[in-house]
Amino acid sequence: MGSNQTWISEVILLGFQIDPELEVFLFGLLLLFYSLTLLGNGVILGLICLDSRLHTPMYFFLSHLAIVDMAYASSTVPKMLANLILQKKTISFAPCILQTFLYLAFAVTECLSLVVMSYDRYVAICHPLYYSVIMSWRVCTVLAATCWIFSFLLALVHISLILRLPFCGAQKINHFFCQIISVFKLACANTRLNQIVLFVGSVFVLVGPLCLVLGSYARILAAILRIQSAEGRRKAFSTCSSHLCVVGLFFGTAIVMYLAPKSSHSQEQRKILSLFYSLFNPMLNPLIYSLRNAEVKGALRRFLEKKRSL
């Protein structure tokens, strides 16, 4: 380390480099989307807690997904909204690293939660007679806890490797939050090890789980096609279609972001992908589950009827 190198105390988040008038419009639009994210996931979580008919393993995992979505969006969006209306678009280094840690942890938690949810549907449709035995509340609790613990430990590995780097380079991040690849560019040392660990980790938590999900749904599809009654097939498809939509949105965006070659997307395109990944996905998830799930719609209808009767 040379004596003329200085350590970073804060960094500038360049965000979306657009006209000030457009920044006000973007602030209003993103604030609306963020509010819908919290409202939609909050409604899903509230319905699952209040309606005893939804106290099943499937909705237990869905409640965890709702919590993850709210936390996931809240790890980046509030600071992004503040930067859109403030002249000083800076963030201290410690909160920047914390933001990176939380973003990674919640992203991996959501990924693993979707895998567990697909396993739950696989057991429910392919082994219905053993469902209550296999998916006991103890097993569900262990699976949910494993998702959270593993995700935070993996994020901690990445942050530990980041903190070993000397940060004395450019104090600007060309992003709207402290995204891990952008944080690498702040270092004034070789980040090859960090990039290799990030790529291996991305393959492990994206490609591996996606293969498990696709394998589960291949078995589910085969089981559904063997069902004799059309009503039975329709009901089985309806319970899986919403989850498949969420899986497609999440894994599709994540793979494009973290596994596609860097040269295939400009920095502005990556910002849009990150925005879709961290805000639009959490906003769309409760809409998908509520619009395509008869049990959730039924629980909402019963809740509203009870409110009106009071």
3 belongs to a structural domain: no
In the chain, the number of structural domains is: 1
2 belongs to a structural domain: no
Range of the domain at 58: 10-309
Task: State the DSSP code for 167.
Answer: B
Using DSSP, state whether 92 is helix, strand or coil: strand
79 belongs to a structural domain: yes
User: CB atoms < 10 A from the CB of 227, how many?
Assistant: 15
User: CB atoms < 10 A from the CB of 173, how many?
Assistant: 22
Report residue 43 as tokens: 């409604």
**How many alpha carbons lie under 13 Å from residue 129 in its C-beta half-sphere?**
0
Along the 310 residues of the chain, how does pLDDT read in single tens digits? 444 444 678 888 888 777 777 888 888 999 999 999 999 999 999 989 988 888 999 899 999 999 999 999 999 999 888 888 887 788 888 899 999 999 999 999 999 999 999 999 899 888 888 999 999 999 999 999 999 999 999 999 999 999 998 887 668 888 888 989 889 988 888 899 999 999 898 888 888 888 888 888 888 888 888 877 777 777 777 767 777 788 888 888 777 776 666 554 566 777 877 888 788 888 888 888 776 677 787 887 888 777 777 6
1 belongs to a structural domain: no
State how beta strands 172-173 and 10-13 pair. Answer: parallel
Is residue 254 within 8 Å of 277, Cβ to Cβ? yes
Residue count of the chain: 310
**How many alpha carbons lie under 13 Å from residue 119 in its C-beta half-sphere?**
17
83 belongs to a structural domain: yes
5 belongs to a structural domain: no
Token match 């070789």: residue?
Answer: 190
242 belongs to a structural domain: yes
Strands ordered across the beta sheet of 172-173:
90-92, 10-13, 172-173
Nearest Cα to Cα of residue 270 among 7, 16, 3: 16
Is residue 290 within 8 Å of 70, Cβ to Cβ? no
131: CATH: 1.20.1070.10
45 belongs to a structural domain: yes
